Structures are given as structure tokens and as C-alpha cells.
Structure 1
Amino acid sequence: MTQVQGYFDPRFESVRELFAQQQADPQARGSALCVTVGGDTVLDLWQGVMDKDNSRVWEQDTLINVFSCTKPLGAVALLQQVEAGRIGLDDRVADIWPEFAQAGKAQITLRQLLSHRAGLSAISAPLEPEALFDWQAMTDAVVAQEPWWTPGEMHGYAPLTYAWLIGEPLRRLTAQMPGDYLREHICAPLGMDFHVGVADQDLSRIAHVSRLRNQHGDQYARDLFAAMGDPQGLAWKAFGNPTSLQTSTNKPAWQQAQILSANGTGNARSLARFWQVLAHGGSLDGVHVLDAELVALLRREHSVGMDRTLRCPTRFGLGVMLEQEWQGGSFGMGANAFGHPGAGGALGFADPDAQVGFGYVTNTMGPYVLTDPRAGELSRAVYRCLREQD
């Protein structure tokens, strides 16, 4: 395995050492870590290999699927439309997407979509595998879907359907496909090497994703996987319909689609940059992403309690997870941290009190529901360094 590459501030040498130690795991392949404090980057590290044959070294510009770490970018994109006065958080989604009003959804608001309270965590009717890559097929399925519960009464994470629940309103408000909008209005202004729909010339930079073997996750993960054994249940439908969701991660069709909930492709540096700006209220060094009042709403608690989909306690703002009340859901820093994990290990978040932007990615997927222990260990190590410097 390769040595750790990149930059670190000597004050965070213990974090670099921990990052290197994680590579000693026999199943470790490749990973990257980037952390900002205030306006400075204090860690920008990478190590390991990016291909399944362990022959290609992880490079500075290697990309990786970060799965649900994509969701907050889509949420910010929609909140930019709120800032521009094109829609209100409590406006009915059907006002801009009339077809959406079908099947008991006429009163659902944008706020309910963003906070996972709309009851649309999954599509109940079986979908063909190829539907995953057909924008019209998936929006039609969302239009036809009845809520799994009365909208607004409870919450349940929408791992996949979130892509079209927020992506179609964004498309109608901006006349752009979501990935194109993100590139122009978020990624380019922030200098992020991040893509929802990877261009042909960048496909060769994407690391191959594999799964850790003989790992069983925490108790919530075991409960979730057990629930996914019921093909008619919410958990299976949310994570397994269409079935191609489970089998497409390393395929160009997935990498080049615009699935705003799950197929963002980027690196730790880009995640840290995004969260660095949100940690500073949405604007930093002359770059404006979102009004500070909307950032405050983004990270205000909108949903709390037992999650109907994930079968564990969760707290959500608008398109972001908040610091959870159990260890497996913690970002590892302050009580006001907010961000989002991605399936299998990726993590991006901001701690506004410590002014931290954090990004971690890996190409070996773990089985944990929220924060992967590898990312959690690193964030806690960063926090220890910060407290030692106070």
C-alpha cells in the first residue's frame, strides 16, 4: 500500500497518523481526508489505491461516488430558489409541478420534501432496472406514488426518491437539469471538483467501490438489513426499487446519470470546501452560496425521532442531518454540527462553532447506517486537536 500523500498542518499530525493507521487494515484500499478550520485548509490527505486490482495509486485528483453526501447540494440548490423568490418553503410543490398533486399529494410543501416528512421515501410499484436512469420514468413513478403516511405527521429518510422529489422542482424552477445547475451555481463558484453526471473525460479518474467483508455494522444497521428482507416493506422498496440501485455503483450509466440523492462524484477536498462555506453562514472570501438566514433554517431541527425508513432515531434540518443523539449518528464534534453521511463511509459536515469543514471519502464500503467509524474516529481526532489548541 502507498504512503499518505498531501498536506497537513503540524498541529494536526495526530490526525494524519490515525489516517495512516486506518490504511493498515487488511481490507483498506483507498481514502482521502480534507479538513478546513476557518479560512484555512489544515489537512488534505490521500492514500491507497483506486482500482479493484490494487494497481492504480489513489491520486490527488481521484474521484469517488459519495452517495448521499450529494443530498445537501441539492437542498442548497433549491434554497437558492427560495432566496431568489421563485418559491417559498411552505408553498405547495404542486404549484410548480401540477402533476405532483395526484394520489393525495396536493398539499405537500417544499419544506416537507426537504425534511423527509412527505411520506415519499420509496416507490411501492415495482420498477424496471433501467428506470433508474430514465428521468421521466422516475418522475412519473413519484407522481403516481401515494404517501406511505400522512404528510407532515412523521418522517422517514428518502434514500433514492429524494433525487426526483427535489430534482424535478429544481428543474422546473431553473430550466436546467439538476447536475448542470449544480455545476454552474455551486461547484464552479466554489472551485469544487464535484459532479452529478460525470463527463466522459473524467470517468477514468473514478475509483472502483467495493464492500468490506465480514462486517455487520451496528444494531440499527442489522435491524435495517433484516427489514430489507421483506420485499413489500418500506425499507426494501426504499433501497431496492429499482433493483439496479444495488448493482450499478461502478457502471458508467450510474456515474453519468443525474441522481441528486445518491450519485454525486467528487473528493474529500470538494466536500470540505462546500461545508467550509456553510460553516461561515453561506458566504466566504467573496463567494456567496446561500443567505445566512436560509443557512440557519437549513440547520434548524425540522424532523426528530424514530425514522420510518432507517429504523433508528434521526434528526434532520432541510436536506441535512443534524448531530444525532446516539454515538453511531454523531459527527464527532460540537452539538451544532450539520452535514450528511454517504453509504459505506463518506462523510461531509460543518461545525459552525469550531468553523470546521470536513470531508472524508473511501472506496471500501462499510455497513453502517449513519456515521462510519473510520470517519468518526478522524473527526473526533480533529476535534481533540482543536480543543488542545484552545
Structure 2
Amino acid sequence: MSEVEGTCDARFETVREALVASLDDKDVGASVAVYLGDELVVDLWGGYFDEARTRPWESDTITCVFSTTKTMAALTTLILADRGVIDLDAPVAKYWPEFGALGKDKILVRHVLGHTAGLPTWDKPVRTEQLYDWSLMTRLLAEQAPSAPPGEVGAYHAVTQGFLLGEIVRRATSRTLATYFAEEVAGPLGADFQLTVPPGDDHRVSPVIPAPTRAPEIVAAGPGNPPIPAETANTEAWRRADIPSAGGFGNARSVAAVQSVLANGGEARGVRLLSKAGCERVLEEQFFGEDEVFGRRMRYGMGYSVQGQTCSWGGWGGSLVLVDLEARLTVAYVMNQMLEESALGDGRGLGMVFAAYEGAY
């Protein structure tokens, strides 16, 4: 039986059991965290830092969480909207005039958050290394015609969403999204989540372990543009880059620490980042129907999948965060072993969520 470290309230022993079971089965190294209200009731980690199992996963180990990063970009945008800096119902071109070309003048900020902007990928071939060139990636999007009328077609903006939101934030604040997030969100909360990793933290970045095959949903959607092999996340270039859709690094504690703001009416650990009404905007439905990329029904709110009073999203490989605004519950799971079936999450993270609900009620 795998050993885990950290703290766990007695009510949430089922979460500890779920993590142990996952480490005994499919995981190499992993962490899980649960906030009930403003209290960190679960903060556990275990397993190994590396695939060879030569180093333990430590309290401060972080790893790439791929699209769970989107929740950080979305929350930052919601904070700016609540502060009156960005209007979610305004055209993107209000902040980024060049973007309005070729029929994109009617694309609103909320369309970007809800994956209905008609820009799910670049229409010109893009090489993976070009993702590290912010000005090029955003210029190509500004010069591109949308693939569908804004607000009508759900098509997961796997990588483009971060560049679109990031450029809106940059134009509105004169700061990159990564900088704004670090200074106004993660910093005040004391959360160890980074949209770009400085060299001094490289030693504690656990490399992601690719799945045996790519997830079926991604294969069905066709080749990516650009293709992003999982191993790309283990390169220095990826760690230094600003890719707000997929390039964030953290652990379960840091993911939950940030996202718990939504579960607590906008205030966490004495730091108020937005109003209760600003939090509730996350639940405003932007699209409900079949997503053209995933080929399955999705319900998108403002940057998250939504269901009732719950918002959530996960990352390629299996990381996951869920926030229940009614129960004031936040659950996060982060690991280094990717699984092939987990383009939209898998049983590991869901098991942590179900266990957390057992403890919460």
C-alpha cells in the first residue's frame, strides 16, 4: 500500500483512501487538496517525482497541468470584469482593435470564454516552437476569419483561448496575463501556481509521463495545429513560455487555493479578489450542445464546464479542479502520469471528487 503525506481532516479519510488506491493502481506521483469553505481540509501527496521512481513527490513538487491552466486564465478575466477593467459583453476589438478584421468585430469576450468565438485553432499551419512567440500567435488570430458566427457553435479552443484572453488582458491592463495573475491573484493568495516557471524552480518540476497513446477524443478531432507531444511540457522552452491555455504549473494545493475564491464569494484567506456576484458570473451558460472538437455534448459557462452551481475543468492527462459554489467545496487533483482516456478527465480525479463529497456531507 502506497504511503501518502500531508494533512487530512478525519471527515475526509475517504479522500486519503482514494489517493492511496490511485497510487497503488495507475498513478506514479500525485496530490489532492480539498477546501471546505475557507478551510484546507485535505492536503495530501504521495508517490514519485519521476517515472523511474527514484525521487519522492514532495510537498512543493509542481508539474504541468495542461488545460487545468484555463481555469486560472478564466478566473483572472472574471476578476478584471468584476473590477470594471474588462466588459465580458464587449467586443474583443474594443480592447484589441486589429482583432475586429474579417468579421470578428462581433466576437465578444464571453464568446472566447465559452469556446464559441469560432477560432478553435489557427487556420495556417503552426509549428510547436512558434507557440513561444506571443506576438506571432496573436497576430495570426487577428488576421484570421472565424469558422462560425460568434456565439453559435461550440468548438473547444484548446490552445487559442489562452492567447485570446491573454491579449485582451494585456491590452486592458498593460500587463501580460501571467504577470497579472502572479501579482494580483496567486501572490496575494500565497498560491504556488505559475503560468511561467522561473529557472530557480526547475528543480522541483516533476516531468509529465506521457500516456501510452493519445486520448481517443483528441485523435477523433484530427491532428493538432500545432501538434503538441506531451513531452513538450518537459522542456525548458515550455516552462518559460506564456501559454495560458495549457502551460501552467502547480500542484493540487495551489490549484485549489486559487479556485477556492469562487467557492467563498470572492474572498479567500482574508483576501478579496472579486464580489459574490462576480463569482456567480462563472455559471452563466454560454453554450450547451455538441462540441465540434470533442464530438460530445458540453455545457460551457464563463471559462469552465458548468452544471447547476458547480463549475469545473481538467487538463489533458487527468488533472482536475471542481468548485461547488453552493456547497462551498473546492477539489483539485494533480498528477504526473497521464492516461490515454483522459482528454476530459478520468476516473482518478473523479474518484477524488466523489470522496470529497462524502466527507462534505
TM-score range, shorter chain: over 0.9
User: Following the alignment from structure 2 to structure 1, what is the Cα–Cα distance between the partners of residues 354 and 211?
Assistant: 22
User: Following the alignment from structure 1 to structure 2, what is the Cα–Cα distance between the partners of residues 287 and 198?
Assistant: 24
Residues 1:368 and 2:342 aligned together: yes
Distance 1:319 1:245, change over 3 A: farther
Aligned to 1:332: none
User: Following the alignment from structure 2 to structure 1, what is the Cα–Cα distance between the partners of residues 163 and 353?
Assistant: 31
TM-score, with length taken from structure 2: 0.95
User: Following the alignment from structure 1 to structure 2, what is the Cα–Cα distance between the partners of residues 111 and 101?
Assistant: 15
Residues 1:313 and 2:297 aligned together: yes
Classify the secondary structure of the residue corresponding to 1:315. strand
User: Following the alignment from structure 2 to structure 1, what is the Cα–Cα distance between the partners of residues 172 and 185?
Assistant: 16
Match of 2:22, as an amino acid? Q
Classify the secondary structure of the residue corresponding to 1:249. helix
Classify the secondary structure of the residue corresponding to 2:122. coil
Deviation at 1:98, TM superposition (A): 1.1
Q: Which moved more, 1:354-363 or 1:290-299?
A: 290-299
Aligned to 2:354: 380
Aligned to 2:9: 9
Q: Which moved more, 1:362-371 or 1:190-199?
A: 362-371
8 Å contact from structure 1 (residues 128, 242) kept in 2: yes
Aligned to 1:264: 248
User: Following the alignment from structure 2 to structure 1, what is the Cα–Cα distance between the partners of residues 217 and 353?
Assistant: 26
Where do residues 113-132 of structure 1 align in structure 2 (5 Å cutoff)? 113-132=112-131
Deviation at 1:213, TM superposition (A): 3.2
User: Following the alignment from structure 1 to structure 2, what is the Cα–Cα distance between the partners of residues 373 and 244?
Assistant: 24
TM-score, with length taken from structure 1: 0.88
Q: How many pairs align? A: 360
Deviation at 1:69, TM superposition (A): 1.1
Residues 288-344 of structure 1, C-alpha deviation per residue, up to 9 Å, x if partnerless?
Answer: 122221211112222111011111111111111113xxxxxxxxxxx4211211111
Match of 2:320, as an amino acid? L
Match of 1:146, as an amino acid? A
Aligned to 1:232: none
User: Following the alignment from structure 1 to structure 2, what is the Cα–Cα distance between the partners of residues 120 and 11?
Assistant: 45
Match of 1:313, as an amino acid? R
Residues 1:348 and 2:321 aligned together: yes
8 Å contact from structure 1 (residues 76, 290) kept in 2: no
User: Following the alignment from structure 1 to structure 2, what is the Cα–Cα distance between the partners of residues 58 and 224?
Assistant: 29
User: Following the alignment from structure 1 to structure 2, what is the Cα–Cα distance between the partners of residues 319 and 194?
Assistant: 18
Residues 1:338 and 2:332 aligned together: no
Residues 9-42 of structure 1, C-alpha deviation per residue, up to 9 Å, x if partnerless?
Answer: 11221221221111112x5210000001122211
Classify the secondary structure of the residue corresponding to 2:32. strand
Match of 1:243, as an amino acid? P
Classify the secondary structure of the residue corresponding to 2:61. coil
Match of 1:6, as an amino acid? G
Where do residues 190-269 of structure 1 align in structure 2 (5 Å cutoff)? 190-213=189-212, 222=216, 224-228=218-222, 236=223, 240-244=224-228, 246-269=230-253
Name stretches of at least 5 consecutive residues in structure 2 with no aligned partner.
Answer: none
User: Following the alignment from structure 1 to structure 2, what is the Cα–Cα distance between the partners of residues 245 and 118?
Assistant: 25
Name stretches of at least 5 consecutive residues in structure 1 with no aligned partner.
Answer: 229-235, 324-334
Aligned to 2:134: 135
Classify the secondary structure of the residue corresponding to 1:103. coil
Distance 1:15 1:85, change over 3 A: closer
Classify the secondary structure of the residue corresponding to 1:201. helix
Deviation at 1:246, TM superposition (A): 4.9
Distance 1:224 1:196, change over 3 A: closer
User: Following the alignment from structure 2 to structure 1, what is the Cα–Cα distance between the partners of residues 217 and 82?
Assistant: 40
Deviation at 1:226, TM superposition (A): 2.8
